[in-house]
Amino acid sequence: MKNYSVKQYQESDYANWNAFIGQAKNATFLFHRDFMEYHKDRFEDNSLIVFYKDKWIGVIPANKVGNEIFSHQGLTYGGLVYNDKSKLRTIITAFRAVLLFLNDNEIEKLHLKTIPSIYHTKPAEEIQYALFLAEAQLVRRDSLSVIDLSQKNSFSKIRKRGVQKGKASGLVIKEETNFESFWNEILIPNLDERHRAKPIHSIAEMNLLKSLFPNNIWQFNVYYNDKIVAGTTVFESEMVAHCQYISKYEKDENLGSLDFLYHFLITEAFANKRFFDFGISNEAQGKLLNDGLSYWKESFGASTIVHDFYKVKTANYVKLDSFFTKSKNMLTK
């Protein structure tokens, strides 16, 4: 364990960080520094780098609040990121080094949100085992509605009727390169009217992110008689097409706009992805379910995986000191 060390990310680590993210088995473009830093004025970055001797073996995108560290609160998911050559023992030892480093720096708790398994390019749940060993507390669990596109899926009758209604209404789907019309005419009015809320991202932020990640961020709008009536913003990673924003604003009309749009996204635009992720239908830290929204997603053939959030005391690094067993002839006959 003495060869493991941890340091806080610095601007001079920019190139090495992005190179490491690019070959990790549980990372997406959200962990690229350009994505993390578009909103750096909102968070006190405290991202961490883990070394074995002088070799990078893991990173944690993170920010600091008081004397606690959070898996970056500006990102949907996070945790310890590592490559496919890392063994279970390495990840557990690396996590111990993180907890010890934070404890030595008077950080009392680490809040770690995991990376849902569908975003892994190879199985990567070593950190969940390390969290168990460190007696981390599960504090939140969201349910994601996901379609496995490698399998045959069928839409419900009501969704099929919606698709046919969209066709009969003469709806038109367009891929756009900017976000103004969707934000101003659909998303902002809809969120304000229904929830008295605003989008997390501003138009300027979305246009910036699109310019930085042109092959990962997509905007699709639906038009009726040349007027926008619905749209969605999609974040595309290697394994997953994820719906970041979904909204329609048809007023008294019932055009089947979202059914029509999502049929196109699932069967054409992102049919080559392994997974299609509708995102969560939860509120109140995962303890409430928007049943109508969940049902709408499931009627496209989606089913549920969970996204877990943990809290662990940094002093619990001691619980990882003696979990290895020296084994001989452990093979079962």
Q: Structural domain boundaries of the chain? A: 4-141+309-320, 151-273
Inter-residue long-range contacts of 249-254, CB under 8 Å, 24+ positions, other chains counted: 249/185, 249/186, 249/189, 249/190, 253/224, 253/229, 254/165
User: For residues 216 and 29, is the Cβ–Cβ distance under 8 A?
Assistant: yes
- Sequential pLDDT tens for the chain (333 residues): 689 999 999 999 999 999 999 999 999 999 999 999 999 999 999 999 999 999 999 999 999 999 999 999 999 999 999 999 999 999 999 999 999 999 999 999 999 999 999 999 999 999 999 999 999 999 999 999 999 999 998 999 999 999 999 999 999 999 999 999 999 999 999 998 887 889 999 999 999 999 999 999 999 999 999 999 999 999 999 999 999 999 998 665 689 999 999 999 999 999 999 999 999 999 898 999 999 999 999 999 999 999 999 999 999 999 998 776 654 444 444
Q: What is the CATH number of domain 4-141+309-320?
A: 3.40.630.30
pLDDT value of position 193: 86
pLDDT value of position 325: 60
pLDDT value of position 252: 54
Please return the burial class of 315, using the count of CB atoms within 10 Å of its CB with bins 0-12, 13-18 and 19+.
middle
Please return the burial class of 153, using the count of CB atoms within 10 Å of its CB with bins 0-12, 13-18 and 19+.
middle
Read off φ and ψ for residue 75, nearest 5 degrees: -120, 150
Q: Give me the DSSP letters along 108-168.
A: -EEEEEPPPGGG-SS---HHHHHHHHTTPEEEEEEEEEEEETTS-----HHHHHHHHHHHH
What 8-state DSSP symbol labels residue 76? S
Torsion sign, CA atoms 276, 280, 286, 291: negative
The conformational region for residue 106 under phi > 0 = left, psi -120 to 50 = alpha, else beta, is left
CA distance 147 to 235: 15
Same fold, 4-141+309-320 and 151-273: yes
CATH class (in words) of the domain with range 151-273: alpha beta
pLDDT value of position 311: 98
CA distance 18 to 8: 15
